[in-house]
A = this chain, B = another copy of it.
Amino acid sequence: MSFEVRPAGSPPDAPLKLRLTFGEMPVEMAVPFASYDGSLSSSWLQEETLYVDVLPGKVSLPRRYSFRYVKLEVLDTSPKYRVSFFNLKCMTVTSADRANVIPFDHVDPLLRDIDRISVRTLEDCTQDVFEDGPKRDRRLWLGDLRLQALANYATFRNDALVKRCLYLFAGVSDERGRVSANLFIAPELIADDTYLFDYSLFFTVTLYDYYEATGERDTLQELWPTARRQVELALEQLDDSGIVRDEETWWSFIDWHESLNKQAPSHAVLIYALKRAIRLAEAVECDSIGELERCLADARRTALDLLWDAKQGFFVSGEGRQVSWAAQIWMALAEVLPSEENRTLMRRLLSTKPDIAPTTPYMYHHLAEALLVVGLKDEAVDLVKQYWGGMLKNGADTFWELYDPGNPDFSPYGSPLINSYCHAWSCTPTYLIRRYGL
Protein backbone atom coordinates (compact mmCIF):
# COMPACT_ATOMS: atom_id res chain seq x y z
CA MET A 1 0.00 0.00 0.00
CA SER A 2 1.18 3.47 -0.76
CA PHE A 3 -0.29 6.94 -0.50
CA GLU A 4 0.63 10.59 -0.66
CA VAL A 5 0.34 12.94 2.28
CA ARG A 6 0.01 16.66 1.80
CA PRO A 7 0.03 19.23 4.56
CA ALA A 8 -2.54 21.98 5.01
CA GLY A 9 -2.05 25.13 7.06
CA SER A 10 1.39 26.43 8.05
CA PRO A 11 4.46 24.52 6.87
CA PRO A 12 4.76 21.26 8.84
CA ASP A 13 6.99 22.09 11.80
CA ALA A 14 7.03 18.58 13.28
CA PRO A 15 6.91 15.06 11.83
CA LEU A 16 3.57 13.47 11.12
CA LYS A 17 2.83 10.46 13.32
CA LEU A 18 0.39 7.99 11.81
CA ARG A 19 -1.13 4.69 12.78
CA LEU A 20 -2.54 2.35 10.16
CA THR A 21 -4.69 -0.57 11.15
CA PHE A 22 -5.51 -3.22 8.59
CA GLY A 23 -8.40 -5.57 8.97
CA GLU A 24 -10.09 -8.37 7.11
CA MET A 25 -13.17 -7.84 9.29
CA PRO A 26 -14.92 -4.90 10.95
CA VAL A 27 -13.97 -6.27 14.39
CA GLU A 28 -10.36 -5.40 13.61
CA MET A 29 -11.36 -1.78 13.07
CA ALA A 30 -13.59 -1.59 16.13
CA VAL A 31 -11.71 -3.43 18.88
CA PRO A 32 -8.38 -1.87 19.94
CA PHE A 33 -5.51 -4.27 19.36
CA ALA A 34 -4.11 -3.26 22.75
CA SER A 35 -6.98 -5.23 24.33
CA TYR A 36 -5.93 -8.46 22.61
CA ASP A 37 -4.98 -11.28 24.95
CA GLY A 38 -5.31 -14.38 22.81
CA SER A 39 -2.91 -17.31 22.72
CA LEU A 40 -1.26 -16.49 19.39
CA SER A 41 1.29 -13.73 19.01
CA SER A 42 -0.13 -10.21 18.92
CA SER A 43 2.41 -9.56 16.17
CA TRP A 44 -0.11 -11.01 13.70
CA LEU A 45 -2.42 -8.05 14.28
CA GLN A 46 -1.82 -5.82 11.30
CA GLU A 47 -0.82 -2.38 12.47
CA GLU A 48 1.90 0.11 11.60
CA THR A 49 2.94 3.22 13.47
CA LEU A 50 5.05 5.46 11.34
CA TYR A 51 6.47 8.93 10.99
CA VAL A 52 6.65 11.14 7.93
CA ASP A 53 9.49 13.62 8.35
CA VAL A 54 9.16 15.41 5.03
CA LEU A 55 5.79 16.71 3.79
CA PRO A 56 4.37 16.51 1.21
CA GLY A 57 5.63 12.99 0.97
CA LYS A 58 4.85 9.52 -0.25
CA VAL A 59 4.45 6.65 2.16
CA SER A 60 5.10 3.15 0.88
CA LEU A 61 4.30 0.55 3.48
CA PRO A 62 7.03 -2.04 3.76
CA ARG A 63 5.02 -5.18 4.37
CA ARG A 64 2.31 -7.31 2.83
CA TYR A 65 -1.08 -7.03 4.50
CA SER A 66 -4.38 -8.84 4.14
CA PHE A 67 -7.28 -6.45 4.48
CA ARG A 68 -10.61 -5.18 3.30
CA TYR A 69 -10.61 -2.32 5.79
CA VAL A 70 -7.90 0.14 6.71
CA LYS A 71 -8.03 2.70 9.48
CA LEU A 72 -5.76 5.71 9.16
CA GLU A 73 -5.24 7.59 12.42
CA VAL A 74 -3.31 10.82 12.60
CA LEU A 75 -1.71 10.46 16.03
CA ASP A 76 0.01 13.82 15.93
CA THR A 77 0.87 16.65 13.58
CA SER A 78 1.40 19.95 15.37
CA PRO A 79 -0.92 22.82 16.23
CA LYS A 80 0.25 24.49 13.01
CA TYR A 81 -0.79 22.00 10.36
CA ARG A 82 -3.17 19.26 9.33
CA VAL A 83 -2.81 16.64 6.61
CA SER A 84 -4.80 15.18 3.75
CA PHE A 85 -4.26 11.94 1.92
CA PHE A 86 -4.21 11.27 -1.81
CA ASN A 87 -3.63 8.52 -4.33
CA LEU A 88 -3.95 5.63 -1.96
CA LYS A 89 -2.94 2.57 -3.94
CA CYS A 90 -2.87 -1.10 -3.11
CA MET A 91 -1.03 -3.71 -5.09
CA THR A 92 -2.40 -7.21 -4.74
CA VAL A 93 -0.08 -10.16 -5.03
CA THR A 94 -0.74 -13.76 -5.97
CA SER A 95 0.96 -16.38 -8.08
CA ALA A 96 -2.43 -17.63 -9.24
CA ASP A 97 -3.34 -16.55 -12.76
CA ARG A 98 -7.01 -15.70 -13.00
CA ALA A 99 -6.80 -15.99 -16.79
CA ASN A 100 -6.22 -19.71 -16.34
CA VAL A 101 -9.30 -20.38 -14.24
CA ILE A 102 -11.46 -23.02 -15.84
CA PRO A 103 -14.69 -21.21 -16.83
CA PHE A 104 -17.66 -22.17 -14.70
CA ASP A 105 -21.25 -21.18 -14.28
CA HIS A 106 -24.13 -22.56 -12.25
CA VAL A 107 -27.88 -22.10 -12.46
CA ASP A 108 -28.06 -21.73 -8.68
CA PRO A 109 -26.89 -18.17 -7.92
CA LEU A 110 -25.87 -19.11 -4.39
CA LEU A 111 -23.65 -21.96 -5.55
CA ARG A 112 -22.26 -19.65 -8.23
CA ASP A 113 -21.38 -17.09 -5.54
CA ILE A 114 -19.91 -19.74 -3.26
CA ASP A 115 -17.77 -21.00 -6.13
CA ARG A 116 -16.61 -17.47 -6.95
CA ILE A 117 -15.63 -16.76 -3.35
CA SER A 118 -13.87 -20.10 -3.06
CA VAL A 119 -11.80 -19.23 -6.11
CA ARG A 120 -10.90 -15.83 -4.67
CA THR A 121 -9.95 -17.41 -1.36
CA LEU A 122 -7.63 -19.82 -3.14
CA GLU A 123 -6.23 -17.00 -5.26
CA ASP A 124 -5.30 -14.91 -2.22
CA CYS A 125 -3.63 -17.89 -0.55
CA THR A 126 -1.57 -18.76 -3.62
CA GLN A 127 1.77 -17.03 -3.19
CA ASP A 128 5.37 -18.31 -3.32
CA VAL A 129 3.80 -21.44 -1.88
CA PHE A 130 0.24 -22.37 -1.05
CA GLU A 131 -0.19 -20.39 2.14
CA ASP A 132 -2.77 -21.22 4.78
CA GLY A 133 -3.84 -17.58 4.98
CA PRO A 134 -2.45 -14.26 3.77
CA LYS A 135 -2.97 -12.68 7.20
CA ARG A 136 -1.89 -15.64 9.28
CA ASP A 137 0.29 -17.80 9.27
CA ARG A 138 1.32 -17.28 5.63
CA ARG A 139 2.73 -20.72 5.92
CA LEU A 140 2.78 -23.95 3.96
CA TRP A 141 0.79 -26.45 6.03
CA LEU A 142 0.19 -29.93 4.69
CA GLY A 143 -3.45 -30.01 5.76
CA ASP A 144 -4.15 -26.84 3.82
CA LEU A 145 -1.96 -27.82 0.88
CA ARG A 146 -3.95 -31.00 0.29
CA LEU A 147 -7.23 -29.08 0.03
CA GLN A 148 -5.73 -26.18 -1.96
CA ALA A 149 -4.32 -28.66 -4.46
CA LEU A 150 -7.78 -30.22 -4.93
CA ALA A 151 -9.37 -26.80 -5.47
CA ASN A 152 -6.51 -25.84 -7.76
CA TYR A 153 -7.05 -28.84 -10.08
CA ALA A 154 -10.62 -27.64 -10.59
CA THR A 155 -9.70 -23.98 -11.15
CA PHE A 156 -6.27 -22.37 -11.64
CA ARG A 157 -4.40 -25.53 -12.66
CA ASN A 158 -1.24 -24.09 -11.12
CA ASP A 159 -0.02 -27.68 -10.84
CA ALA A 160 3.64 -26.66 -10.83
CA LEU A 161 3.07 -24.95 -7.49
CA VAL A 162 1.62 -28.15 -6.00
CA LYS A 163 4.67 -29.98 -7.22
CA ARG A 164 6.97 -27.33 -5.76
CA CYS A 165 5.26 -27.64 -2.37
CA LEU A 166 5.51 -31.44 -2.40
CA TYR A 167 9.23 -31.23 -3.14
CA LEU A 168 9.70 -28.65 -0.39
CA PHE A 169 8.11 -31.00 2.15
CA ALA A 170 10.07 -33.99 0.92
CA GLY A 171 13.32 -32.00 0.89
CA VAL A 172 13.31 -31.33 4.62
CA SER A 173 11.94 -34.51 6.14
CA ASP A 174 13.70 -35.38 9.41
CA GLU A 175 16.35 -38.01 10.07
CA ARG A 176 13.62 -40.65 10.31
CA GLY A 177 12.10 -39.51 7.02
CA ARG A 178 9.13 -37.89 8.73
CA VAL A 179 7.45 -35.00 6.93
CA SER A 180 6.72 -31.94 9.07
CA ALA A 181 3.25 -30.47 9.48
CA ASN A 182 4.43 -27.18 7.99
CA LEU A 183 7.43 -25.44 6.50
CA PHE A 184 9.14 -22.08 6.84
CA ILE A 185 10.26 -20.82 3.46
CA ALA A 186 12.23 -17.63 4.20
CA PRO A 187 15.03 -16.77 4.69
CA GLU A 188 15.74 -20.44 4.03
CA LEU A 189 13.69 -23.58 3.92
CA ILE A 190 13.27 -25.29 7.27
CA ALA A 191 10.75 -27.75 8.61
CA ASP A 192 8.79 -26.70 11.67
CA ASP A 193 9.29 -28.92 14.70
CA THR A 194 5.57 -29.71 14.71
CA TYR A 195 4.68 -33.22 13.44
CA LEU A 196 1.09 -34.37 13.17
CA PHE A 197 -0.04 -37.92 12.48
CA ASP A 198 -2.74 -36.96 10.00
CA TYR A 199 -0.77 -34.19 8.28
CA SER A 200 2.26 -36.40 7.61
CA LEU A 201 -0.03 -38.95 5.97
CA PHE A 202 -1.49 -36.20 3.83
CA PHE A 203 1.84 -36.01 2.04
CA THR A 204 1.03 -39.42 0.62
CA VAL A 205 -2.56 -38.42 -0.11
CA THR A 206 -1.52 -35.15 -1.78
CA LEU A 207 0.98 -36.97 -3.98
CA TYR A 208 -1.80 -39.39 -4.93
CA ASP A 209 -4.13 -36.51 -5.83
CA TYR A 210 -1.34 -34.84 -7.80
CA TYR A 211 -0.68 -37.98 -9.79
CA GLU A 212 -4.41 -38.47 -10.39
CA ALA A 213 -4.71 -34.89 -11.64
CA THR A 214 -1.57 -34.72 -13.77
CA GLY A 215 -0.48 -38.28 -14.56
CA GLU A 216 3.05 -36.97 -14.13
CA ARG A 217 5.24 -40.01 -13.45
CA ASP A 218 8.65 -38.41 -12.80
CA THR A 219 7.46 -36.62 -9.70
CA LEU A 220 5.68 -39.73 -8.52
CA GLN A 221 8.84 -41.81 -8.91
CA GLU A 222 10.98 -39.30 -7.07
CA LEU A 223 8.58 -38.66 -4.21
CA TRP A 224 7.23 -42.17 -3.73
CA PRO A 225 9.87 -43.13 -1.15
CA THR A 226 8.84 -40.16 1.01
CA ALA A 227 5.15 -40.97 0.55
CA ARG A 228 5.72 -44.63 1.44
CA ARG A 229 7.80 -43.61 4.46
CA GLN A 230 4.92 -41.61 5.96
CA VAL A 231 2.73 -44.69 5.88
CA GLU A 232 5.47 -46.84 7.46
CA LEU A 233 5.93 -44.29 10.24
CA ALA A 234 2.18 -44.12 10.84
CA LEU A 235 2.03 -47.92 11.09
CA GLU A 236 4.68 -47.77 13.82
CA GLN A 237 2.12 -45.80 15.84
CA LEU A 238 -0.21 -48.79 16.10
CA ASP A 239 -0.57 -50.30 19.56
CA ASP A 240 -0.59 -54.01 20.32
CA SER A 241 -4.23 -54.29 19.35
CA GLY A 242 -3.51 -52.71 15.96
CA ILE A 243 -5.24 -49.37 16.63
CA VAL A 244 -3.48 -46.02 16.31
CA ARG A 245 -2.11 -45.21 19.77
CA ASP A 246 -3.98 -42.39 21.51
CA GLU A 247 -1.92 -39.67 23.18
CA GLU A 248 -2.41 -36.72 25.50
CA THR A 249 -0.29 -34.44 23.31
CA TRP A 250 -1.24 -32.51 20.19
CA TRP A 251 -0.24 -35.49 18.03
CA SER A 252 -2.94 -35.39 15.34
CA PHE A 253 -4.91 -32.37 14.19
CA ILE A 254 -8.30 -33.55 12.77
CA ASP A 255 -10.18 -30.41 13.98
CA TRP A 256 -10.08 -27.50 16.44
CA HIS A 257 -12.32 -29.03 19.06
CA GLU A 258 -11.10 -28.97 22.63
CA SER A 259 -12.72 -32.24 23.66
CA LEU A 260 -12.28 -34.17 20.44
CA ASN A 261 -10.57 -37.55 20.88
CA LYS A 262 -8.27 -38.07 17.90
CA GLN A 263 -7.82 -41.85 17.95
CA ALA A 264 -10.65 -43.13 15.73
CA PRO A 265 -10.50 -40.32 13.14
CA SER A 266 -6.71 -40.74 12.97
CA HIS A 267 -7.09 -44.46 12.47
CA ALA A 268 -9.50 -43.68 9.64
CA VAL A 269 -7.01 -41.24 8.09
CA LEU A 270 -4.47 -44.08 8.14
CA ILE A 271 -6.87 -46.35 6.26
CA TYR A 272 -7.68 -43.53 3.83
CA ALA A 273 -3.96 -42.98 3.18
CA LEU A 274 -3.15 -46.69 2.94
CA LYS A 275 -5.66 -47.09 0.15
CA ARG A 276 -4.01 -44.32 -1.85
CA ALA A 277 -0.51 -45.54 -1.03
CA ILE A 278 -1.41 -48.91 -2.51
CA ARG A 279 -2.54 -47.30 -5.76
CA LEU A 280 0.72 -45.32 -5.92
CA ALA A 281 2.72 -48.49 -5.17
CA GLU A 282 0.95 -50.11 -8.08
CA ALA A 283 1.77 -47.19 -10.34
CA VAL A 284 5.48 -47.36 -9.50
CA GLU A 285 5.39 -51.15 -9.36
CA CYS A 286 6.81 -51.19 -5.87
CA ASP A 287 7.32 -54.56 -4.18
CA SER A 288 5.62 -53.27 -1.05
CA ILE A 289 2.12 -53.67 -2.49
CA GLY A 290 1.46 -56.96 -0.73
CA GLU A 291 2.66 -55.67 2.64
CA LEU A 292 0.58 -52.49 2.30
CA GLU A 293 -2.49 -54.51 1.42
CA ARG A 294 -2.04 -56.70 4.49
CA CYS A 295 -1.71 -53.57 6.66
CA LEU A 296 -4.85 -52.09 5.14
CA ALA A 297 -6.81 -55.28 5.81
CA ASP A 298 -5.55 -55.34 9.41
CA ALA A 299 -6.34 -51.68 10.00
CA ARG A 300 -9.82 -52.07 8.58
CA ARG A 301 -10.46 -55.19 10.65
CA THR A 302 -9.30 -53.61 13.93
CA ALA A 303 -11.44 -50.56 13.18
CA LEU A 304 -14.48 -52.77 12.83
CA ASP A 305 -13.57 -55.07 15.74
CA LEU A 306 -12.50 -52.46 18.26
CA LEU A 307 -13.88 -49.05 17.23
CA TRP A 308 -17.27 -49.92 15.77
CA ASP A 309 -20.08 -49.87 18.33
CA ALA A 310 -22.85 -51.82 16.63
CA LYS A 311 -25.35 -50.99 19.35
CA GLN A 312 -24.97 -47.24 18.83
CA GLY A 313 -24.25 -47.61 15.13
CA PHE A 314 -21.23 -45.30 15.48
CA PHE A 315 -17.47 -45.54 15.61
CA VAL A 316 -16.09 -44.73 19.06
CA SER A 317 -12.77 -43.18 19.95
CA GLY A 318 -10.34 -43.37 22.86
CA GLU A 319 -10.72 -44.78 26.33
CA GLY A 320 -13.92 -42.80 26.82
CA ARG A 321 -15.40 -44.38 23.68
CA GLN A 322 -16.28 -40.91 22.39
CA VAL A 323 -18.79 -40.61 19.58
CA SER A 324 -17.70 -37.64 17.46
CA TRP A 325 -18.69 -36.34 14.07
CA ALA A 326 -15.00 -36.41 13.09
CA ALA A 327 -14.71 -40.17 13.68
CA GLN A 328 -17.79 -40.98 11.57
CA ILE A 329 -16.77 -38.56 8.81
CA TRP A 330 -13.25 -39.95 8.43
CA MET A 331 -14.45 -43.56 8.65
CA ALA A 332 -16.95 -42.72 5.90
CA LEU A 333 -14.25 -41.06 3.77
CA ALA A 334 -12.02 -44.11 4.34
CA GLU A 335 -14.96 -46.31 3.27
CA VAL A 336 -14.42 -48.74 6.10
CA LEU A 337 -18.03 -49.94 6.04
CA PRO A 338 -19.65 -51.44 2.95
CA SER A 339 -21.27 -48.86 0.71
CA GLU A 340 -24.85 -49.10 1.95
CA GLU A 341 -23.84 -49.13 5.63
CA ASN A 342 -21.55 -46.20 5.00
CA ARG A 343 -24.53 -44.18 3.71
CA THR A 344 -26.61 -45.27 6.70
CA LEU A 345 -23.79 -44.15 9.01
CA MET A 346 -23.85 -40.66 7.53
CA ARG A 347 -27.65 -40.48 7.65
CA ARG A 348 -27.53 -41.54 11.30
CA LEU A 349 -24.88 -38.88 11.96
CA LEU A 350 -27.05 -36.13 10.45
CA SER A 351 -30.09 -37.18 12.43
CA THR A 352 -28.44 -38.06 15.75
CA LYS A 353 -26.10 -35.04 15.83
CA PRO A 354 -23.57 -36.13 18.45
CA ASP A 355 -22.24 -33.39 20.74
CA ILE A 356 -18.67 -33.38 19.49
CA ALA A 357 -19.42 -31.51 16.28
CA PRO A 358 -17.25 -29.96 13.56
CA THR A 359 -15.84 -26.55 14.48
CA THR A 360 -13.97 -25.49 11.36
CA PRO A 361 -14.56 -25.20 7.61
CA TYR A 362 -11.81 -27.81 7.41
CA MET A 363 -13.97 -30.35 9.20
CA TYR A 364 -17.10 -29.19 7.38
CA HIS A 365 -15.29 -29.86 4.11
CA HIS A 366 -14.71 -33.44 5.17
CA LEU A 367 -18.33 -33.76 6.23
CA ALA A 368 -19.48 -32.49 2.83
CA GLU A 369 -17.13 -34.76 0.93
CA ALA A 370 -18.14 -37.74 3.10
CA LEU A 371 -21.78 -37.08 2.20
CA LEU A 372 -20.81 -37.08 -1.47
CA VAL A 373 -18.72 -40.24 -1.13
CA VAL A 374 -21.72 -42.10 0.35
CA GLY A 375 -24.05 -40.65 -2.31
CA LEU A 376 -25.97 -38.12 -0.18
CA LYS A 377 -25.63 -35.34 -2.75
CA ASP A 378 -28.69 -33.32 -1.73
CA GLU A 379 -27.52 -33.28 1.87
CA ALA A 380 -24.05 -32.19 0.70
CA VAL A 381 -25.53 -29.35 -1.36
CA ASP A 382 -27.64 -28.25 1.61
CA LEU A 383 -24.57 -28.28 3.84
CA VAL A 384 -22.43 -26.25 1.43
CA LYS A 385 -25.21 -23.72 0.94
CA GLN A 386 -25.92 -23.43 4.65
CA TYR A 387 -22.38 -23.37 5.95
CA TRP A 388 -20.38 -21.49 3.32
CA GLY A 389 -23.52 -19.60 2.32
CA GLY A 390 -23.76 -18.55 5.97
CA MET A 391 -20.35 -16.85 5.78
CA LEU A 392 -21.47 -15.20 2.57
CA LYS A 393 -24.60 -13.86 4.24
CA ASN A 394 -22.39 -12.51 7.00
CA GLY A 395 -20.47 -10.43 4.46
CA ALA A 396 -17.59 -12.76 3.56
CA ASP A 397 -15.90 -12.13 0.25
CA THR A 398 -13.30 -14.74 1.07
CA PHE A 399 -13.98 -17.77 3.22
CA TRP A 400 -12.87 -17.81 6.85
CA GLU A 401 -10.54 -19.96 8.89
CA LEU A 402 -13.23 -20.36 11.50
CA TYR A 403 -17.01 -20.21 11.34
CA ASP A 404 -19.40 -21.55 13.89
CA PRO A 405 -22.93 -20.47 12.92
CA GLY A 406 -24.02 -20.73 16.56
CA ASN A 407 -21.04 -18.84 17.97
CA PRO A 408 -19.85 -16.06 15.69
CA ASP A 409 -16.99 -15.08 18.06
CA PHE A 410 -15.52 -18.59 18.11
CA SER A 411 -11.75 -18.62 18.09
CA PRO A 412 -9.53 -21.48 19.22
CA TYR A 413 -6.96 -18.76 20.00
CA GLY A 414 -8.99 -16.78 22.53
CA SER A 415 -9.93 -13.83 20.32
CA PRO A 416 -11.69 -13.38 16.98
CA LEU A 417 -9.24 -10.51 16.29
CA ILE A 418 -6.53 -13.01 15.48
CA ASN A 419 -8.64 -15.33 13.30
CA SER A 420 -7.78 -15.45 9.63
CA TYR A 421 -10.68 -14.42 7.43
CA CYS A 422 -9.23 -15.66 4.18
CA HIS A 423 -8.10 -19.19 4.75
CA ALA A 424 -7.01 -21.92 2.40
CA TRP A 425 -8.79 -24.80 4.06
CA SER A 426 -12.10 -23.01 3.47
CA CYS A 427 -11.68 -22.73 -0.30
CA THR A 428 -12.92 -26.24 -1.11
CA PRO A 429 -16.55 -25.61 -2.20
CA THR A 430 -15.25 -24.88 -5.71
CA TYR A 431 -13.70 -28.36 -5.69
CA LEU A 432 -16.85 -29.99 -4.28
CA ILE A 433 -19.17 -28.14 -6.67
CA ARG A 434 -17.12 -28.74 -9.80
CA ARG A 435 -15.75 -32.20 -9.09
CA TYR A 436 -18.99 -33.73 -7.84
CA GLY A 437 -21.25 -31.67 -10.11
CA LEU A 438 -23.31 -30.12 -7.30
Give residues in A with beta carbon < 8 Å to B.
Answer: 10-17, 39-44, 48-49, 51, 53-57, 63, 75-79, 137, 139, 184, 186-187, 190, 192-193
Q: Are B192 and A13 in contact (CB under 8 A)?
A: yes
Give which listed residue, B40, B54, B75, contacts A78 with CB less than 8 A: B40
CA distance A63 to B12 in the complex (A): 17
The 8 closest A-B pairs by CB, nearest first: A14-B41, A17-B43, A15-B43, A41-B78, A43-B76, A49-B49, A54-B186, A42-B76
Q: Are A43 and B51 in contact (CB under 8 A)?
A: yes
Give which listed residue, B53, B63, B79, contacts A53 with CB less than 8 A: B63
CA distance A41 to B14 in the complex (A): 6
Main secondary structure of the interface of A (DSSP, over half): loop
CB nearest neighbor in B for A49: B49
Q: Which residues from B are CB-within-8-Å of A193?
A: 10-11
Q: Which residues from B are CB-within-8-Å of A14?
A: 40-41, 43-44, 137
Q: How far is the CB of A210 from chain B (nearest CB, A)?
A: 26
Q: A63-B51, A187-B54 are in contact. Are A192 and B11 (CB under 8 A)?
A: yes
CA distance A260 to B187 in the complex (A): 61
Q: Which residues from B are CB-within-8-Å of A63?
A: 51, 53
CA distance A10 to B190 in the complex (A): 11
Question: Would you give 28 A-B contacts (Cβ < 8 Å), ordered by A?
Answer: A10-B192, A11-B184, A11-B190, A11-B193, A12-B184, A13-B41, A13-B184, A14-B40, A14-B41, A15-B41, A15-B43, A16-B43, A17-B42, A17-B43, A39-B79, A41-B76, A41-B77, A41-B78, A42-B76, A43-B51, A43-B75, A43-B76, A48-B49, A48-B51, A53-B63, A54-B186, A54-B187, A55-B187
Q: Are A42 and B184 in contact (CB under 8 A)?
A: no
Q: How far is the CB of A65 from chain B (nearest CB, A)?
A: 11
Q: How far is the CB of A168 from chain B (nearest CB, A)?
A: 14
CA distance A193 to B190 in the complex (A): 58
CA distance A96 to B270 in the complex (A): 73
Q: Which residues from B are CB-within-8-Å of A13?
A: 41, 137, 139, 184, 192
Q: How far is the CB of A122 from chain B (nearest CB, A)?
A: 22
Q: Which residues from B are CB-within-8-Å of A40?
A: 14, 78
Q: How far is the CB of A195 from chain B (nearest CB, A)?
A: 12
CA distance A15 to B17 in the complex (A): 23
CB nearest neighbor in B for A190: B11
Q: How far is the CB of A58 from chain B (nearest CB, A)?
A: 10
Besides the known contacts A10-B192, A12-B184, A43-B77, 4 further A-B residue pairs in the complex with CB atoms under 8 A apart: A13-B41, A17-B43, A41-B76, A43-B75
Q: Which residues from B are CB-within-8-Å of A42?
A: 17, 75-76
Q: How far is the CB of A232 from chain B (nearest CB, A)?
A: 26
CA distance A49 to B16 in the complex (A): 15
Q: How far is the CB of A32 from chain B (nearest CB, A)?
A: 14
CA distance A39 to B79 in the complex (A): 9
Most B-side CB within 10 Å, residue of A14, A48, A79, A184? A14
